[in-house]
Every structure is written in C-alpha cells, then in structure tokens.
Structure 1
Amino acid sequence: MNAYLPLILFTVLTNAAAQLMLKRGMTGVGSLNVAGDGLVATVFRVVFNPFVFAGLCTFVVSMASHLIVLSKVQISYAYPFLSLAYVVVAAYAYFVFHEDLSAMRIAGIGFIVLGTIFIAQS
C-alpha cells in the first residue's frame, strides 16, 4: 500500500488546493444575493470567477486521482489521509489569509497528523 502513498498525497494536495482556490474565488465574488440577482446570474458570477473555476477543475483532478487510489488500496487506509488536507488548508489560511489558528485548532491538527502517521504505519 505504501507504493501508492505518492498518489494519495497528490490527492490530498489537490483537494487542499481546490479548497483554497474556492475560498479565494468566493472572497472575490463577495456575498451572494440569489433573491436579488437571480439564480442563473449568481451561478454564472460564481462559476466564471477564475479562482472558483480553477478550484472546481482541481477538484475534478483530485477526485480522479482519488478514484485511482480507491481502485488500488483499502479505503480504510486511503480515506483517513484526506484529513491531511485540513492541515494544509489551516496552515495556508493562517499564513496567507491571516485567519486565526487557536491552540485548540493546533492541538487538533497535531492529532490529525499523529493519527495519519499511525494509519500509514499499519
């Protein structure tokens, strides 16, 4: 199963990258007013934001690589690695988006990393 670890980590990183692009895109779009702007106009405004569009495309790549992983390894091994995307997103959000990273979140991130290490060793 460790032979697929690079592909699993690629899935994690593309998943995290997609989330970060979506966040960046939605920050640029601003608050949504479906009732005032109309559903179709709102969908077009969101989907055609370059960061949102890139994030959605990156999700497709992430999902494709995840499907390959699922065809090769046990889901009980592969799926917990996706929690590492939270670690990447939280660190990026702290350093780039200047979001809060409390002691409790840092502790939780530590547990996620520790748990993933245990799973990788199994």
Structure 2
Amino acid sequence: MGYLYIFGTILFTVYGQLILKWRIEKYGSLPPLVKDKILFLLQLLVDPLILSGFLSAFVASIFWMGAMTKFDISYAYPFMSLSFVLVFILSVFLFQEPVTLYKVIGLSFIVVGIMITSQSV
C-alpha cells in the first residue's frame, strides 16, 4: 500500500506540471510591465484547469503524507525523481519538446540513482 502513496504523489505531481504548462502556453508570455504582469497572473489564477493543477499539488501532498507513514524519507524521496522522467517523456509527446542526448543521459542518471537508492543493504 505504501507504494500506492508514492505512485499517487508522482501521478498528481506530473498532472499538475503538465496542466500548468499546457494552460499557460494558451495565454502566451508574461507581459513586460508590472501592472500587466499582475493582471496576467490573476487571469491565470481563475482558469479552472490551472486551479486543477494547484488542487493536484494539494492531493499529491496528501498522498505524500501517506507515504511518509510507510517509508523513511531517504528511501521514498528518490522515487519522486520519476516525476522528472515522466514529465520529460510526456512533454515530448504533448508539447513536442526536443529530445537531446544530454537530457537522455541526465534522465538515465536519475533512473540509475533511483535503482541504487531503492536497494536495501
């Protein structure tokens, strides 16, 4: 059951990041003037899908609290790095972001690090 809490944390974290990226892209770039920046950000804050991204962060935190009842943080936290991997993979398909050799190497290090830290000695 503890791994379900970690999975829920990752799932809701990834959803939040992707939905924020998707919706913010629809609104365009941050304007240069301070007054316009404030209005722009307020406009973002009333978008229902952006609000769902914030809600997903809250739900991810609840799952994380559950995970903390089951695992040491030094064991559970490295699994959160899987969110980097999932966001990268999904951003390639959803937003056509570029895949570079350096990104693939970096993500490979993350996966290897998770494998190493999840081993009990």
Alpha-carbon shift at residue 25 of structure 1 (Å): 1.3
Q: Is the aligned partner of 1:15 residue 2:13?
A: yes
Structure 1: distance between partners of 2:37 and 2:24? 17
From 70, 73, 77, the equivalent of 2:71 is 73
Structure 2: distance between partners of 1:43 and 1:112? 33
From 73, 89, 98, the equivalent of 1:91 is 89
Cα displacement string for residues 35-60 of structure 1 (whole angstroms, at most 9, x for unaligned residues): 24262x33320111233111111111
Q: Is the aligned partner of 1:120 residue 2:118?
A: yes
Match of 1:37 in 2: 36
Cα displacement string for residues 54-90 of structure 1 (whole angstroms, at most 9, x for unaligned residues): 1111111011111221233111011111110000000
Alpha-carbon shift at residue 121 of structure 1 (Å): 2.7
- Partner SS for 2:98: coil
Structure 2: distance between partners of 1:56 and 1:66? 15
8 Å contact kept, 2:30–2:37? no
Structure 2: distance between partners of 1:108 and 1:95? 19
- Partner SS for 2:69: helix
Structure 1: distance between partners of 2:36 and 2:71? 46
Identity level (%): 30
2:36 corresponds to which letter in structure 1? D
Structure 2 residue ranges without an equivalent (≥5)? none
RMSD across aligned positions (CA): 1.6
TM-score normalised to the size of structure 1? Answer: 0.87
